[in-house]
Amino acid sequence: SIDDNDINSQLFNGIRGLPGLEFQIKPKAFSYANLLAASIIDEEIRRIQLLPIKQCFQQFNGCIAISNFIISRYRCPQLVTFHPAPPNRLIFTVRNFDLEINEGIKDYLISKHKSILLISTTVQLTIHRKLNGSPYVRSIGCYVNAGFSDVILQNGGILEDIFNSNFRQNIIIVKEV
């Protein structure tokens, strides 16, 4: 038989019947998580399949559909960290990786080659408890920065010349969400 004195009421937040399990993740566990995260990111980026995109422009009275996205080159991140920050936050950082993506414009033999270099991203997560007591993770910040971005249109004839000479130098990606 269990006596009420044997149970710490703080485990129930003063309410009997709620779960009474609390755990703490030590720094070595985060070091191990960093190793796992780096290998998981490396594997998943290589396997990712990007969905086709269709964008319509009213001013041109037409649409462009881009399909057949292929990650043609990938350089793994120099740093992947996953660490706690007060209060109840997790910070996930991936620093300095490169992507090159090839894609085809639907119904044409035109291809687009996109290079995004020196990409760094930081995601801030918080851990909360739902009304029923179950935990959930919420993203409260996502910061993405790319040091260099370039897009080249190939096999496009006059469209290639117009795009590459007029728009190519204006493409820079710096995004904060």
60-99: pLDDT as tens digits: 677 777 777 778 888 889 999 988 888 888 999 999 988 8
CATH 3.40.190.290 fits 24-176, yes or no: no
Least Cα distance to 142 among 173, 175, 117 occurs for 175
Return d(Cα 134, Cα 11) in angstroms, integer.
15
Domain chopping of the chain, boundaries: 24-176
Question: What is the per-residue pLDDT for 11?
Answer: 59
Surface-to-core class of residue 38, CB atoms within 10 Å of its CB (0-12 exposed, 13-18 middle, 19+ buried): middle
Q: pTM for the complete prediction? A: 0.64
